[in-house]
Amino acid sequence: MIETLDIKKLHCTQIDHIKWDKCISESSNGIVYAYAWYLDIVCEDWEAIVVNDYQIVLPLPISTILNFKVIRLPELVQQLGFFSPQILDPKTIRALLKHLKSTELVYTFNAYNHLPQQIQKKGKLKHYHVIDLIPSMDVIEKHFSKECIKTIHVMNTEKISVVRSQNPAEYISFKLANCTLKKSRKLERLIAYAIRYKSAGTYGAYNKYNQLIAQAFLLKTNNRIVLIDACDSTHERENIGLCAIIYHIIKANCESNLTLEFPYHSKLIGHHFSGIEHECLQYAKGWLKWFS
């Protein structure tokens, strides 16, 4: 339990990025979406609640709707929440939530935040799939769905190959041509920065004619490999290209102290590869709860 709470609300320009990222990296629930460098790229504006000397942090992405400032998770951010190297007790969380009393928000708290009952009752659960990569490939494959096994068989028969590293501009170009894409500039900036400075990679799946049929962008932090973005031009064929990429990632990283996590929009792919689900609570307050 944290005895003293010196609570400040800071704008992103006032935040010490080194101390902030240290808090995220040392938190048991630290996730890539919460790092200051990540938020700076995907959010035009954000604030945060900071406790003591970055002992606890709560990122607050800001959006403007009809000239009103609201807190809402932007695209490319699946979940946020409270982060601390220490386990937070309910009393501390309640004290921090009071600082959001008059705020309009729709916010998804990460799977490891233990929130007060009154908030849990008002929120709705969102699920995402996770693969534990510690076991051998043989053990992991036992959890694949029947549909996934069939897709892998087709993938091998049709000689789908997976190659790492694509130019960010080429990645965006393929996505514009094959998928619905918004805010491509942010995604391109994120890919370029992460590949240059962080543990990240883009992957492409090619058919036997050497045509690009799918791609994925993944980022590794805090013993997690997170699927940030993906695009597959073979939707009518069970996303065979994306399945090939995920299968490649699993084979390359099995028997390591890592997990592979899928965002909500890729939960069908996650479901095919894993039966493990994590839950996040999406909480909406004010008039935004009618639009969440």
pLDDT in tens, 256-280: 999 999 987 666 688 889 878 899 9
pLDDT tens digit string along 181-228? 665 789 999 999 999 999 999 999 999 999 999 999 999 999 999 999
> Average pLDDT in the 11-31 region?
95
Confidence at residue 183, expressed as pLDDT on a 0 to 100 scale:
53
pLDDT tier at 237, thresholds 50, 70, 90:
low
Domain with CATH 3.40.630.30 in the chain: 129-278
For every residue of the chain, DSSP letters joined together read: --S---EEEEEGGGS-HHHHHHHHHHSTT--GGGSHHHHHHH-SSEEEEEETTTTEEEEEEEEEETTEEEEEPPTT---B--B-SSPPPHHHHHHHHGGGTT--EEEEE-TT----HHHHHHSEEEEEEEEE-SS-HHHHHTTS-HHHHHHHHHHHHTT-EEEE---HHHHHHHHHHHS----HHHHHHHHHHHHHHSSEEEEEEE-TT--EEEEEEEEEETTEEEEEEEEES-GGGTTHHHHHHHHHHHHHHTTSS-EEE--GGGHHHHHHH---EEEEEEEEEGGGGGT-
Q: Over the stretch 155-186, which tens digit does the pLDDT of each residue have?
A: 999 999 999 987 888 899 998 888 766 657 89
**Stated pTM of the model:** 0.92
Tens digit of pLDDT for each residue in 47-72?
999 999 999 999 999 988 878 888 99
Span 129-278 CATH architecture: 3-Layer(aba) Sandwich (3.40)
List the CATH code of the domain at 7-122. Answer: 3.40.630
